[in-house]
Structures are given as C-alpha cells and as structure tokens.
Structure 1
Amino acid sequence: MSLTPAFLDELRARTLLSGLIAKTVKLQKAGREFRACCPFHQEKTPSFYVNDDKGFYHCFGCSAHGDAIRWMTEQRGLPFIDAVKELAQAAGMEMPEQDRRSAEKAERAKGLHEAMADAAQWFVDKLNGLEGAEARNLLKRRGITEEAARSFGLGFAPDSRGKLKEALKSYGDAMLVEAGMLIQVEEKEPYDRFRGRLMIPIRDVRGRTIAFGGRIIGDGEPKYLNSPETPLFDKGRTLYNLDRAQAAARKADRIIAVEGYMDVIALAQAGFGEAVAPLGTALTEHQLERLWRMAEVPLLCFDGDSAGQKAALRAAHRALPMLQPGRSLAFVTLPDGLDPDDLVRSKGAAAFEALLKAPQPLVDRLWQSEIAAEPLDTPEQRAGLKRRLSALAETIVDGNVKHEYLAEFRARTDAHFGRGPRAFEARTQRAPGGPARGKRDRRGNWQPPETMPGATMRGVHTHGIDPMLAKAVLAGLIRHPAEIARHMEVLGSLRSASGALGKLFEAVIDVALEDRQLDSGKVLTILARSGFDSVASDLLRADTLPFSFTRNQADEVRAREDLREAIEVMVALPAVDAALAQATAALAMDGPDEAFTRQVAFSRQRRELEERLANLKLADEEDFDD
C-alpha cells in the first residue's frame, strides 16, 4: 500500500478537525478557532486551540501540536496506518489499493478479530449463566464488582475440551488454532485451549480483543494461562488495559505499571484508571516506549515480595540505555509484601495514593541495589562497587544523561565512604578545655570536627583561592552555563570572596538564578549589562588556560566532568591549606605525635588535590587548539 502525500493532504482537507476532537474534548468557540483545557496535560485555564482553517491543534501550555492524523496517533494511541484507515472511512475515501499479499493478510486479520470478539462474548455469556457460578464467586471473594466485570469484559471458559470449538465452528479449526483459541498437537483433533478458567480479554489500543488471560478457578497449574503469540498478539509489544488507561493517564498526568490483571482491575475500581500491566514477562523495550508516550516518568509498582522487586530491578536495568533528558522511571515499593490489589482492598485508595506521591527515583533504586549487593569492607570490594556503578552508567546512550549518572554515582560513593572535598575551618582560638580534637575515620585518617560527615559548606574558605584556577572555572561556567545550577551550593559560598573574582562569581550566579535555560551567548549578553563584558570575553580568549572546559570545541561530556572536578579542587585547596597551617602551628602546642599525624594527613590531602588538578590539564599542544 502506498500512501502518497497527495492522498494524506486530501484526507486532512476532508476531515473537520474540530468535529474530530470534539468527540472526546469539550470545545468552546473562540473567534475563528476553538479552545479547551488541554487533553495532553492538566490545566485549569484553557490553552489548547483548534484551527479548522489551518487544520491543526496547538497547546500553548505543553506545546502539543498536530493535525488529524497526529490526533489519532497521540490522543487515541492508534498506529499510523490504523489512524489513516479510520479517518479515510469517516471521510468517505477509498484507501489506496493493496498488493495481493497485503490484502490477503488484512482479510485474514479481519477474520481473526471477528473470531476473538465472538469468543469474548461467548465467555461473558458463560460467566453470567449456570456454568459461571463458581467463577462469579471467585470474583466476589476478590472484591471485583459486577460493574467492573462488565467493564473489563470478564468471562468464563467451561472445563471442556470442545465447547468453544463447537460454538465457533463457523470459523473453522484452522483459524481458531491461528487465533490461539484451540490447541493442535501433530495430526490430532484440535481442542479448547482455555478450560475451567476465569477469562480476561486482552485488547489492543483500539479496544479490540486480540488475546486472553485465563486464571484457574480452583487448584491447579499454571495459575494464569495466556494466549500464545498470534498474528494479532505480540505480548512483548502489548500492555494490558492500554486502551482504557491512555485517557486516564493524560488526565492524571501519570501512568502506573503493575504486575498483573487483577491489580489493574482492583486499581481501576479504586479510582486509578491509569494502570497497565505487562503480560507475564519482564517489561520490554517496546513496552517501556509505550509507557513513555504517556508519561515522562512512569511509576513501576510491582509486588513487594522478592520476585516483584527483582522484576522492578530488571526493568530499571533495561530502561537505562533508553534514558533521555526528562525521561526516566520511578518506583513505588509496597509494604509487607503486599500487591496493589491487596493494598487497596485492605487499606484503601488513600494509602495507595500516598505511596504514589513519594516514589523512589531510578538512580536511588540502582544505588540501593548495588550498595546492598555485597559487603564493602575492603578496598577491593569498594572498587567493585565503583566498577559496577560505572558499568551501569556506561550503558546509557544519551551522553548528557550518562554524564549525570557518572557524576551522581561518583558523588554518592565519595559521600558514602567519607571522601571528596571537605570543609575545614581554621580556628584562631581554642575552645575551652584545650585544643579541638577530631577523630579517626574508618580508614584511619584524622578528621577535625568540621570535616566529619554532615559538615556543611559554611566551613568553605573564600580566601586563598588560586586566581588562575578560579579564572579557568569562570571561563568553564560561561562556556557551559548549565553547570552553574548544578554547583550552585558550592559556588554560592564564593560570593563573599574579595576582589574582582568574587564579584564576577556573584554576577555569574545571579545570571543563573534569573534564567535556568541559558547558553553562552545569553550569559555574555547579561554579564555585559552588568559591566563584565570585557572581563568575560578575556576569559574566553585566554589561550593559556590548559583545561578542556575552557576550550571552544572540547568534548562536551569530558568538559563538564573536568569542570566538576576543577570546582571541587578549587574549593578544597584553600580549606586544606588553612587546616595544614593550623596543624603546623599546633606542633609547638599539641603533643608531637598528634600534631605530626595531623600535619602529615593534611599534607597528603594537599598532594592529592595537586595531582587531581594536574590530571585535568591538557597534555599536548594539539589539545590547546580551539
């Protein structure tokens, strides 16, 4: 089938866009246009406009934009070809001729859809008849109302090898086998696949039944039996309740993925219509993409038992390569090994809503898992943790997100083991009772009180900052303005630094506070208004600054990581120098062993900082070319 631009243009021209959208959205006339509250995000004041003359809709709140076909694919969730077919039928247009093979495939699919629809209705009839008494009792015990059973199309398959086959005999055994409703083993007579089970229809995005899940009524295995894959059903690309959840997800501005059918149904009864479930498998890349089409950060709410949490972690690992700015996952952990069905029935919808309001970010779930994976008592074990975290971050394809995860994991590792830049505060007077005493950390290094875990940035020294390093950092921040916000707490402590550098630091931070969506050009323009144009321009022209982040065409990921490291060294150096001076001065007053140990410890920290700075400098002349 060939869909030419001319055909698609004609289709759009014949479709009254406001009439199409008004089927699901309440529109109000606004001059030559229509307006409404946007169906793609939550809002109270209408910012969604439909223009029939131009044939497009646009939301000034979330930037949703498109034509009639886009509306069908984005709002209705239809595949492109299905959207075109439905619009063409409504517009009275004939679809372009299919080739013979495509036509035969379409005709066969039409027959399969009809067979599945008839099977679903037959199961519903059996549930509501004499044979369905036990299945109805099961629903009652599970708290499933008659209304919910009707809404989800629940049915019952009698414990028989041939009743469904007989009821649908007009389709022929071959088609019923292809649809997954009959089982055929070699040359033997086909028989009913589902027997003695509560039947749960699985629907596509258009609400058509394409498969079934069958739950055993009494004892027996397997507890759940799903349809096999068929021309209609690809379980790795399908989510249960997707057809109903899409609209609810847009209204709630979230999508919830749970483990099973009953969880979805129970949540819908409790008012959470935005829930979907994979079909007996771990979440696939295709299913994750489906979730991201409905929400930037889907909520994964798997069972609280060990199996459920392992499934959540598998989903986390699978999602990593696909992360993008603003696109992630979050996790809702249920208490006491409960599943969502148990929770809403025992504790109510409010308890579940409270959990949804405080999900665990993806980075926290990954960190938590790796920290608990093995003991971290030896250097080798700690090195293993770093290697595992780095390997996870390296799977992320998007360079910016990968950089953020590497930096986040490094910062968390340093904080966890008491490393990284520390805050020192030189003291000119001793507190009553003698000299200030610190204590040994877990590796035996001496720490004064103000350097212990939990110390704040108040102890950071703003005097004694290396001027050349400060100039390089300022040049890096101007070239990479997004880093200003990420290091705001540290940089904010430098506002009180004296001299021109301190004033320029303050100006740069003020710029970031005014506008978080900055680029270098905008930073320079704003600094120029404050009288810093020549200083800032000189920094960017400084060929003597030997760092990746001061160069015009440096690798973005490397430059941002090097800039982070340089900021840490810049802040830590004067603090260590002050502490080293304090320890040296104390040699004459403290016990010689104690003072000497402190002096050695701070000298070693000073050398480590110098090494970190040396490693940042570009190695050869080629690196200095802009």
Structure 2
Amino acid sequence: MSLPPGFLDELRTRLSLGQVVGRKVMWDTRKSNQGKGDLWAPCPFHQEKSASFHVDDRKGYYYCFGCHAKGDAISFVRETENVDFMEAVRILAGEAGMPMPERDPQAQQKADHRTILVDIMEQAVQFHRLQLQTGVAAAARDYLERRGLSVEAQARWNIGFAPAHNGVLEHLSGKGIEQKLIIDAGLAAKSDRGNGLYNRFRDRIMFPIRDARGRAIGFGGRAMDPNQPAKYYNSPETPLFDKGRSLYNHGPAREAAGKGKPLIVAEGYMDVIALSEAGFEATVAPLGTAITENQLQMLWRIAPEPIIALDGDTAGLRAAMRVIDIALPLLEAGQSLRFALMPDGMDPDDLIKSQGAGAMQKLIDQAIPMVQLLWQRETEGKTYDSPERKAALDKALREKIKLISDPSIRAHYGEAIKEMRWELFSKRKRSGGGARPQQRKWAPGNQAAWKRDISPVSTSKNSALGTGAAKEEYLREAVILATLVANPKVAIEFESALEELDCRDQTHGDVQSCLLRHLGADDLRGVIVDALGPMVLENLMTHSHVAISPAIRRAGDDAIARLCLAEEFAKLNARLGHAREIEDAVEDLSGVADEGLTWRLAQATAAVERAERGDNDDKAEYAVRKNGSRLKKDELSALDRLLKQIGYADGPDTPES
C-alpha cells in the first residue's frame, strides 16, 4: 500500500531509535554516551564480543563496523523481526501511537493475490518432492546419486521431479485451484496452438527457489533429456519471481554469513548445494543470468566482500569479467568483490569431489581482489613492446577506472594499477636485457691473461668513467627526479620516459619506483617522504646541481618543467646509449678489433654530441676523431684505457686533439 506524504518522516520523528534497538541489544556503558545519543553495543546481526554496533540516536541511523549493517528504525525491525516493509511500519506506528492510514484497496488486492500464489507454490514443491520417489523418477534419482546427493540432502533442499505427463497442472487443478492462478504462479502456460494449457516443467529435476524469508517463489528445472534445448530452465517472471532480484539459497546464506562464514557466489544450483553440504553454507547463485546490479546490492547487504567462484572455463571467466564492469560504478568504501578462480574446466562441485573441501577452502583464502582481475583481463596474452601499445593499455585502464564514482576508491585503484604497471614493465625491461648486468666476463681465446671483470659504466669512483660520464649521469638523474617531485602536474606526462630510466644509483632507483607507483597523487612529496623517509628527498632537493636548475628554482612553472625534463631525458639517454654501445662493442669483440667497432663507437659519440649541443658548448673541451665526431677528453681517455684493458692498445682510430 502507498503511505501519505510525510507519514514516515513523522513516524521517525516520534520514535527513538535507541529505544527500538535497545530491545535487542545490551548497551556498552563504557563506550556509550546516553546524553548525546551516542550508543554502542555488540552487533545483533553477527556474532561478536566487542561493541562495534553504533547507534546515532539523534540522526536516527545505525551502523556496524564489523558486518557493515546499516539503516534506520524501519530497516532494523525488518531485519530483526523478519517482516516486510509495511509490517515493520505497522509495528513502529503502534509503538509511536500513530494510526496506520487506510489501505489502498488495489494494493490490498495485490497483496492477497501474492499470498495465494505463495501457497500454490508451496503445494507445487510438495508435489514434486513426492514425484521424485515414484517409478518415473528412477533416472532422476540415479543422476542425483551420481552427483553425490544423499536422500537426506535431497530432502534438505526440497529437490523434486516434474514428470513428463500428469504434472503439477493436473494435480493442482484436481484440488480445485483456478487455472489462472496456476498460470500466474508460472507453473503452466497457454498453448500457442490454442488447445488448452501445458506444464512449463516436464521431465525435469526441480530445485525450489525461495526468497530471503524462505517462501517458495519459483523453480529451476534440470532437463533429463540431453536433447532438450535448455539444460536448465527457470520459472518465468511472475508477481512472486523476478530472477534479476533473486538469489538461490538467499535466506540460509544470509544467516550463515551473519555467523562469520564467507559469502560465496557460485554459478548454479548444484554448485550451491555441493558447497553448502561441504561446509560453505553462505553460498548463493544468480538464476540463469549474469549477476545484475540488484543482485550485487543484495550480496553487499549480506557481506561487504563476496567471493565470486565461477567455473574455470571460458564461459566462467567471461562471466567474471562481466561482473567487474557491473560492479565498478557501484563500489563504495569497504564494499567490493574478490574472485576465486577454479582450475581450468572445473566447477566448485568438481573440485570438492576430486580434491576435497580443503582445496576449495584454499582457493577461497587465496581469492584475488577485483583490481587484480581487472588488470589480468586487460594485459593477459598481450605484448607491450611499443609506446603505442603501452598507451593503449593506459587508455583502456583509465576508461575503466573512470567508471568508479567514489573518488577515494578511484584514487586507490589508480595507485594499484600504477603498482602493477610498474611491476610489469620493470620485469620486461630486466628480462629483455635493458637493465645493465653488474658483472661481465670477457676472455679472448689466446689472451687468457687479460681475463677480468669489466663494468664499463659502473658508478664506482674507481671505474673508467667514474669521474666523467657516471658523475654526469648521476647529476642528470638527480635533476630529473627532483623536477618530477617538484612539479607533480607535469610528472605524469613523463611516465613512459621515467619507466625507461635505468638509474645507476640505488637511492635514485628507490625514488623512481616510488614516483611510478604514486604519479598523480595529490601530495606526491608527502607520499615519497612517508615511503623513503625525509632525508632521501632532502638530500636530493638540496644537491647543489639540482638547486640551481630553473625547474627547481621556479617550481610550479609547468612550461619550464616540461622543457627541463625533455632536455635532461634526451641528454641522459644519449649518454647512456653511448655507454651501452661501448659495453656491447667490447662484449662482441673477439680477438682483433676492426673498423666496425670504431664505427659503432663513433655513432654513439655523435649521438652524445647532438644531445649536448648548447649545453656549455663554448666551455667544454672536446677531442676531434678522424670521422669528424667529437668526444669529451675525459671520456675519450677512459675509452682508450678500456681498449688497452682488453688488449687493443694501438687502434686504427687514434684521436687527434
């Protein structure tokens, strides 16, 4: 029935939520402040000893910090008294001394009609249970036995059988029930040929579907004939049954979840029964459709983090991926999903039968968060060996994260994605040879005496480039990292370049990792300080070479920061390219060097020169090589020493000053 405007507001005003709840709980006098309406007690919706259930009597709302139950006086009475909305209103109105408004005759008629249909459905349940014991159901009983369902389990789940002939339509009609009511209950339908009615369920094992209050509202039928086009068939939409707003085993699962059992979402009836019989009583299933928004909200009212345990085949994984897209816009703080992925080709029933309940428990304990499955969906089986492919991944993930309406959750998803992105690409770089090995061995066959460790671009002070190129690389790294920290708005534009940066200094590497994980954070500097401590950032920012950088002195000027970063990355990459070219040429050298080696070194040198034009060009002291390229003298000397180390003292490309 509909209520007059303002009736519920008046009812809530007259009531004290503390008094309503106080009938069911014992207040914790140490935590509660009665005068301010701040009341605490052990939660009546789940078993606990601590007082995590909070009532704000002034605002009229309650919330449990354990099971996350929340609502007002009406919802509290509905949940604790197991009544519907109007009955809860009637109970509270009696307490508040408010007469209930007159019923709408049409609404009363609908309610009475539903009551009649519920009674018809219960009669159908009992009819099908009896039919399962008859001779025509022998094949159905054999099937249930093969699936491991004992007679006692069949009785617990009210499993029955719909015969091919003389079904529930004939049975109910014989008891004087109008055929229209049987049709309204979804048990029979009119024939398209116009020759009367027929039973919707024929030659099927019958699974009753009940609402949260335990009332039979529909059926699911499993065909015995393998040639039937629909293996499983549900009741149609009726005044009682809306499959997108119903869950199989809803009531018992809610009760079990309230006692601390994890809420599991399986795919079908037999999975729910198998899991429940194995001790996982808080298990439900959607009814022949992908999980809907309404079903997700129902799940979250039972438990804050249901575990989706779908079959380990392509269809099951596809269904899990659809759940992600539905759930993302609905996420709230403390309200999400986890996924227990079954072994390939198995469902929960198969797993329990073959490996026992312990194997299922292990999968539940290892259930992965939704953000991880989202990442897996977007990256699995794909290669990201080009900037364009990486950009496509970034775009796809950004579009998904945008679906999250809660800004806090959206930010945390962004951070988690950055973490996984960094892990993926840093591993690729290491496995792909981009990272520099710490030690290499070179031993020409006839020059064993020259066998030694070579680290041509090490950061050691004693290395060949220790006072030249390595120092410059260190300084450029410092400028880049400091500029990114000081200009967080620009930093995210250089994410790809930062990923490719191969830091020579361990501390710089720590700052780089932290930056990549938290680019886009509101307080980037604060995040780094929390992660690495204040001294790391202080030492970086106060370095004399860093302090004089225009991007640091004028922090916040995005244009200057962009120019500075672009220039520093270009010069550093050219310098590192030169160093790697030396390293690779030395490693490839066997026996006697040829013109190919010097050509490769000359090309690397030319790249360095191009990158550094304009950078103290008038002050730098260069040596000119025979091919016309230039190299700083300290770098050239280091190269000569390196060539002598490997037994090539008088090369064909001796430099000229």
TM-score by length of 1: 0.67
Would you say 1:545 and 2:550 are equivalent positions? no
The alpha-carbon distance between structure 1 residues 352 and 416, as it changes in their structure 2 partners (threshold 3 A), is same
The one-letter amino acid paired with 1:342 is: D
The alpha-carbon distance between structure 1 residues 328 and 56, as it changes in their structure 2 partners (threshold 3 A), is closer
Match of 1:198 among 178, 188, 205: 205
Q: In the alignment, what sits opposite 1:172?
A: 178
The alpha-carbon distance between structure 1 residues 8 and 140, as it changes in their structure 2 partners (threshold 3 A), is farther
The one-letter amino acid paired with 1:185 is: S
> How far off its partner does 1:544 sit?
7.1
Q: Helix, strand or coil for the counterpart of 1:201?
A: strand
Q: Helix, strand or coil for the counterpart of 1:344?
A: helix
Match of 1:495 among 519, 535, 544: 535
Match of 2:359 among 339, 342, 351: 351
The one-letter amino acid paired with 1:223 is: K
Q: Helix, strand or coil for the counterpart of 1:198?
A: strand
Deviations 1:568-622 (A, max 9, x none): 9999999998887788899999967348638848997999xxxxxxxxxxxxxxx
Would you say 1:212 and 2:219 are equivalent positions? yes
* Rounded Cα–Cα distance in structure 1 between residues aligned with 2:350 and 2:255: 25
Q: Which has the higher contact order (CA 8 A, sep 6+)?
A: 1
Q: In the alignment, what sits opposite 2:344?
A: 336
* Rounded Cα–Cα distance in structure 2 between residues aligned with 1:460 and 1:149: 75
Are 1:161 and 1:191, in contact at CA under 8 Å, matched by a contact in 2?
A: no
> How far off its partner does 1:383 sit?
4.5
* Rounded Cα–Cα distance in structure 1 between residues aligned with 2:12 and 2:480: 64
Q: In the alignment, what sits opposite 2:446?
A: none
Q: In the alignment, what sits opposite 1:185?
A: 191
Within a 5 Å distance, the mapping from 1:114-513 to structure 2 comes to: 114-128=119-133, 132-168=137-173, 169-186=175-192, 187-217=194-224, 219-221=226-228, 222-252=230-260, 254-372=262-380, 376=384, 381-406=389-414, 408-409=416-417, 412-413=420-421, 415-418=423-426, 433-436=453-456, 470=485, 483=523, 487-488=527-528, 492=532, 495-498=535-538
The alpha-carbon distance between structure 1 residues 211 and 321, as it changes in their structure 2 partners (threshold 3 A), is same
The one-letter amino acid paired with 1:224 is: Y
Deviations 1:368-388 (A, max 9, x none): 222236555566555544443
Q: Helix, strand or coil for the counterpart of 1:545?
A: coil
* Rounded Cα–Cα distance in structure 1 between residues aligned with 2:599 and 2:315: 58
The alpha-carbon distance between structure 1 residues 206 and 406, as it changes in their structure 2 partners (threshold 3 A), is same
Query: Between Structure 1 and Structure 2, whose CA radius of gyration is higher?
Result: 2
> How large is the Cα RMSD of the aligned pairs?
5.2
Are 2:401 and 2:410, in contact at CA under 8 Å, matched by a contact in 1?
A: yes
The one-letter amino acid paired with 2:287 is: L
Q: In the alignment, what sits opposite 2:495?
A: none
* Rounded Cα–Cα distance in structure 2 between residues aligned with 1:374 and 1:277: 32
Q: Helix, strand or coil for the counterpart of 2:153?
A: helix
* Rounded Cα–Cα distance in structure 1 between residues aligned with 2:170 and 2:216: 18
Deviations 1:55-99 (A, max 9, x none): 986657677565542224556887644543576799999753222
Q: In the alignment, what sits opposite 1:513?
A: none
* Rounded Cα–Cα distance in structure 2 between residues aligned with 1:278 and 1:376: 37
The alpha-carbon distance between structure 1 residues 109 and 498, as it changes in their structure 2 partners (threshold 3 A), is closer
The alpha-carbon distance between structure 1 residues 308 and 487, as it changes in their structure 2 partners (threshold 3 A), is same
Q: Which runs of 5+ in 2 are unaligned?
A: 443-451, 459-464, 466-473, 492-514, 544-552, 586-597, 615-657
Q: In the alignment, what sits opposite 2:499?
A: none
Match of 2:107 among 102, 105, 118: 102
The alpha-carbon distance between structure 1 residues 282 and 56, as it changes in their structure 2 partners (threshold 3 A), is closer
Question: Mean Cα displacement is larger for which, 396-405 or 174-183?
Answer: 396-405
Are 1:42 and 1:252, in contact at CA under 8 Å, matched by a contact in 2?
A: yes
Deviations 1:357-377 (A, max 9, x none): 111222222222222365555
* Rounded Cα–Cα distance in structure 1 between residues aligned with 2:384 and 2:478: 37
* Rounded Cα–Cα distance in structure 1 between residues aligned with 2:533 and 2:603: 31
Count of residue pairs the alignment pairs up: 525
Question: Mean Cα displacement is larger for which, 189-198 or 89-98?
Answer: 89-98
The alpha-carbon distance between structure 1 residues 48 and 377, as it changes in their structure 2 partners (threshold 3 A), is closer
Would you say 1:38 and 2:38 are equivalent positions? no
> How far off its partner does 1:165 sit?
3.2
The alpha-carbon distance between structure 1 residues 76 and 246, as it changes in their structure 2 partners (threshold 3 A), is farther
Question: Mean Cα displacement is larger for which, 44-53 or 370-379?
Answer: 44-53
Are 2:278 and 2:357, in contact at CA under 8 Å, matched by a contact in 1?
A: yes
Percent identical residues: 36
> How far off its partner does 1:212 sit?
0.5
* Rounded Cα–Cα distance in structure 2 between residues aligned with 1:414 and 1:368: 14
> How far off its partner does 1:226 sit?
0.8
Question: Mean Cα displacement is larger for which, 119-128 or 374-383?
Answer: 374-383
The alpha-carbon distance between structure 1 residues 230 and 11, as it changes in their structure 2 partners (threshold 3 A), is farther
Deviations 1:273-316 (A, max 9, x none): 11111111111111112122233332111111111111111112
Q: Which runs of 5+ in 1 are unaligned?
A: 439-447, 449-458, 504-541, 549-565, 608-626
The one-letter amino acid paired with 2:43 is: C
Q: Helix, strand or coil for the counterpart of 2:259?
A: helix
Q: Helix, strand or coil for the counterpart of 1:433?
A: strand
Question: Mean Cα displacement is larger for which, 89-98 or 349-358?
Answer: 89-98
* Rounded Cα–Cα distance in structure 1 between residues aligned with 2:612 and 2:356: 55
* Rounded Cα–Cα distance in structure 2 between residues aligned with 1:310 and 1:139: 28
Q: Helix, strand or coil for the counterpart of 2:344?
A: helix
The one-letter amino acid paired with 1:254 is: P
Are 1:213 and 1:224, in contact at CA under 8 Å, matched by a contact in 2?
A: yes
* Rounded Cα–Cα distance in structure 1 between residues aligned with 2:563 and 2:255: 51
Are 1:165 and 1:173, in contact at CA under 8 Å, matched by a contact in 2?
A: no
Q: In the alignment, what sits opposite 2:505?
A: none
The alpha-carbon distance between structure 1 residues 216 and 473, as it changes in their structure 2 partners (threshold 3 A), is closer
Are 1:252 and 1:274, in contact at CA under 8 Å, matched by a contact in 2?
A: no
The one-letter amino acid paired with 2:556 is: L
Q: Helix, strand or coil for the counterpart of 1:281?
A: coil
Are 1:126 and 1:158, in contact at CA under 8 Å, matched by a contact in 2?
A: yes
* Rounded Cα–Cα distance in structure 1 between residues aligned with 2:581 and 2:342: 57
Q: Helix, strand or coil for the counterpart of 1:170?
A: coil
The alpha-carbon distance between structure 1 residues 185 and 491, as it changes in their structure 2 partners (threshold 3 A), is same
Q: In the alignment, what sits opposite 1:523?
A: none
* Rounded Cα–Cα distance in structure 1 between residues aligned with 2:606 and 2:417: 31
* Rounded Cα–Cα distance in structure 1 between residues aligned with 2:44 and 2:79: 11
Are 2:17 and 2:57, in contact at CA under 8 Å, matched by a contact in 1?
A: no
Would you say 1:113 and 2:132 are equivalent positions? no
Within a 5 Å distance, the mapping from 1:2-13 to structure 2 comes to: 2=3, 4-5=7-8, 6-7=10-11
Q: Helix, strand or coil for the counterpart of 2:208?
A: strand
The alpha-carbon distance between structure 1 residues 586 and 263, as it changes in their structure 2 partners (threshold 3 A), is closer
> How far off its partner does 1:102 sit?
1.5
The one-letter amino acid paired with 2:453 is: G
Question: Mean Cα displacement is larger for which, 153-162 or 126-135?
Answer: 126-135
The one-letter amino acid paired with 1:434 is: I
Are 1:200 and 1:213, in contact at CA under 8 Å, matched by a contact in 2?
A: yes
Question: Mean Cα displacement is larger for which, 208-217 or 119-128?
Answer: 119-128
The alpha-carbon distance between structure 1 residues 407 and 251, as it changes in their structure 2 partners (threshold 3 A), is same
